């Protein structure tokens, strides 16, 4: 065992981590590298009486993404716990959802989609600084989050994993053939007024795990405010001359719930979310609405139902159906009124958990786009794992709205290899 243990009085400090090479090559012309990343992850843990501290640091070098040799403090938090209340303070990830590969309740931490879904979910979810208090009794608990740090979603609009810009579609669709100026992101300042907060009540009732969620936070994914500039022309009057696009992060309120319950050989999971107000791009029917920022406020509803089933003692099946709906819909809104996504996951475990094949298919039924991932983990030893896999993405390239829009990365089908040496 290479991981180190140091004893400090009543406390014990442990070090562990891994070295990883993660490479992904596009499997079609120009057959270029989509990712060439080396990473040293160092985790340290301090365990004492009712106290625990954890820090995780990444030393990253990425040969594809420029200037990306970086030292990244991923997580760093302190736990103080007792028989009825736990406190966790610091940079941390909070996972509130039950869905696999989709984020309905799991919205506390912003996402890093700079490599779309090529990274592990642990890396896609970015830790934020917060105080997490959990009051618990049996399998019932109340979690209270106070989040002073705002961090926006990491998303690119150029490069291999550049997302389509919904605002440019929006402006073009509004027949505004005018120059666009992109302003920098308007990030909220750290202040008491900008504190985000959330509550989650967990209970175990009649064999069912149930959670109720309330979150008051700011949109991690920027809402593009569009300000049209006009000049007054003789005869025709107001004429648009340009547009300023400013990424903003307005407040939202979220109500959620999730559950999971086994029935015989099945486990049923579900989660739902309701936003009384979210912002959607829309095409103004006339000039009088051009000062709306080309945004419309509407309630938004999301839901997921899933089922896990053990096909054999070595193969597990998970299926999910997800639907999102803009309520009080208007035709001028660019997002579809209803967006339906399905997922299927087959996971195998062979040779005493040393050979682990996976097939994950995410299919956006509304936009007819998809991502199919096939991978195989081979645990050569306790410390060395080799993963080979392929991602196939396809569908409508013009797809802009919805959580993932697989079709826009149609050209990014890839083969990947991960070599992980743990210590």
- Binding site residues, other proteins, CB under 8 A: 1, 3, 16-18, 47, 50, 52, 79, 81-84, 86, 93, 95, 97-98, 120-122, 125, 134, 136-139, 141, 202, 204, 207, 209, 260-262, 264-267, 269, 308-310, 313, 349, 351-354, 379, 381-383, 385, 420, 422-423
The least distance separating other proteins from the CB of residue 118, rounded to whole angstroms, comes to 16
The least distance separating other proteins from the CB of residue 163, rounded to whole angstroms, comes to 25
CB closer to other proteins, 86 vs 324 = 86
Buried/exposed 241-260: b ≥16 CB within 10 Å, e otherwise: eebebbbbbeebebebbbbb
CB closer to other proteins, 385 vs 405 = 385
Burial of 1 (0-12, 13-18, 19+ CB in 10 A): exposed
Strands 237-248 and 180-182: parallel
Nearest CA to 392 among 1, 81, 118, 132? 118
CA–CA distance, 405 with 423 (Å, rounded to integer)? 37
The total of other beta-carbon atoms located within 10 Å of residue 50's CB is 10
The least distance separating other proteins from the CB of residue 56, rounded to whole angstroms, comes to 11
The least distance separating other proteins from the CB of residue 35, rounded to whole angstroms, comes to 19
The least distance separating other proteins from the CB of residue 7, rounded to whole angstroms, comes to 15
CB closer to other proteins, 9 vs 207 = 207
CA–CA distance, 249 with 192 (Å, rounded to integer)? 16
The least distance separating other proteins from the CB of residue 106, rounded to whole angstroms, comes to 9
CB closer to other proteins, 191 vs 352 = 352
Which run of H or of E encompasses 122?
Answer: helix 121-124
The least distance separating other proteins from the CB of residue 197, rounded to whole angstroms, comes to 20
The least distance separating other proteins from the CB of residue 263, rounded to whole angstroms, comes to 8
The total of other beta-carbon atoms located within 10 Å of residue 291's CB is 12
Q: Please report where in the chains the tokens 């019932």 appear, as a residue.
A: 140
Contacts (Cβ under 8 Å, ≥6 apart) of 203: 139, 140, 209, 210, 211
Contacts (Cβ under 8 Å, ≥6 apart) of 178: 171, 228, 240, 241, 242, 243
The total of other beta-carbon atoms located within 10 Å of residue 280's CB is 21
CB closer to other proteins, 121 vs 230 = 121
CB closer to other proteins, 138 vs 234 = 138
CB closer to other proteins, 200 vs 249 = 200
CA–CA distance, 150 with 268 (Å, rounded to integer)? 34
CB closer to other proteins, 37 vs 298 = 37
CA–CA distance, 12 with 7 (Å, rounded to integer)? 4
The least distance separating other proteins from the CB of residue 376, rounded to whole angstroms, comes to 16
Q: What is the CA radius of gyration of the chain?
A: 23
DSSP structure class, residue 125:
B
CB closer to other proteins, 25 vs 315 = 315
CB closer to other proteins, 121 vs 363 = 121
CB closer to other proteins, 95 vs 199 = 95
The least distance separating other proteins from the CB of residue 68, rounded to whole angstroms, comes to 23
Strand ranges in 219-337 using DSSP code E only, listed in sequence order: 223-233, 237-248, 251-263, 266-281, 295-312, 315-326
Q: Please report where in the chains the tokens 């936009």 appear, as a residue.
A: 367
CA–CA distance, 92 with 86 (Å, rounded to integer)? 14
The least distance separating other proteins from the CB of residue 265, rounded to whole angstroms, comes to 5
CA–CA distance, 90 with 52 (Å, rounded to integer)? 12
């Amino acid at each position: 065992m290479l991981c180190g243990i140091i004893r400090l009085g009543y406390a014990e400090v442990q070090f562990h981590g891994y070295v990883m090479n993660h490479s992904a090559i596009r499997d079609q012309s120009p057959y270029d590298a989509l990712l060439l990343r080396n990473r040293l992850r160092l985790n340290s843990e301090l365990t004492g009486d009712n106290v625990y501290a954890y820090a995780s640091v990444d030393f990253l070098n990425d040969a594809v993404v420029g200037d990306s040799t970086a030292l990244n403090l991923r997580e760093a938090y302190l736990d103080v716990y007792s028989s009825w209340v736990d406190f966790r303070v610091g940079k941390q990830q909070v996972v509130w959802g039950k869905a696999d590969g989709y984020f309905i309740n799991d919205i506390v931490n912003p996402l890093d989609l700079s490599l779309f879904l090529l990274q592990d979910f642990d890396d896609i979810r970015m830790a934020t600084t917060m105080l997490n208090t959990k009051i618990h009794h049996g399998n019932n608990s109340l979690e209270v989050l106070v989040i002073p740090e705002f961090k926006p979603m990491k998303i690119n609009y150029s490069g291999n994993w550049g997302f389509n810009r919904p605002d440019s579609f929006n402006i073009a669709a509004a027949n505004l053939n005018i120059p666009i100026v992109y302003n920098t992101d308007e990030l909220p300042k750290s202040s008491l007024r900008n504190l985000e907060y959330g509550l989650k009540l967990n209970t175990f009732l009649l064999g069912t795990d149930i959670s109720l969620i309330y979150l008051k936070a700011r949109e991690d994914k920027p809402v593009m405010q569009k300000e049209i500039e006009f000049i007054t022309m003789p005869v025709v009057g107001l004429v648009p001359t340009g547009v300023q696009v400013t990424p903003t992060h307005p407040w939202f309120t979220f109500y959620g719930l999730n559950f999971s319950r086994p029935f015989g050989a099945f486990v049923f999971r579900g989660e739902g979310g309701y936003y009384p107000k979210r912002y959607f791009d829309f095409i103004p029917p006339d000039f009088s609405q051009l000062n709306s920022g080309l945004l419309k406020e509407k309630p938004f509803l999301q839901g997921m139902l899933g089922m896990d089933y053990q096909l054999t003692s070595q193969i597990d099946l998970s299926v999910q159906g997800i639907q999102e709906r803009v309520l009080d819909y208007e035709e001028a809104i660019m997002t579809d009124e209803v967006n339906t996504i399905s997922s299927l996951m087959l996971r195998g475990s062979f040779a005493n958990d040393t050979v682990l094949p996976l097939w994950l298919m995410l299919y956006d039924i509304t936009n007819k786009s998809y991502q199919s991932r096939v991978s195989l983990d081979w645990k050569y030893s306790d410390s060395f794992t080799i993963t080979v896999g392929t991602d196939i993405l396809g569908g409508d390239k013009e797809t802009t709205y919805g959580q993932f829009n697989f079709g826009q990365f149609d050209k990014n089908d890839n083969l990947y290899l991960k070599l992980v040496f743990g210590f």
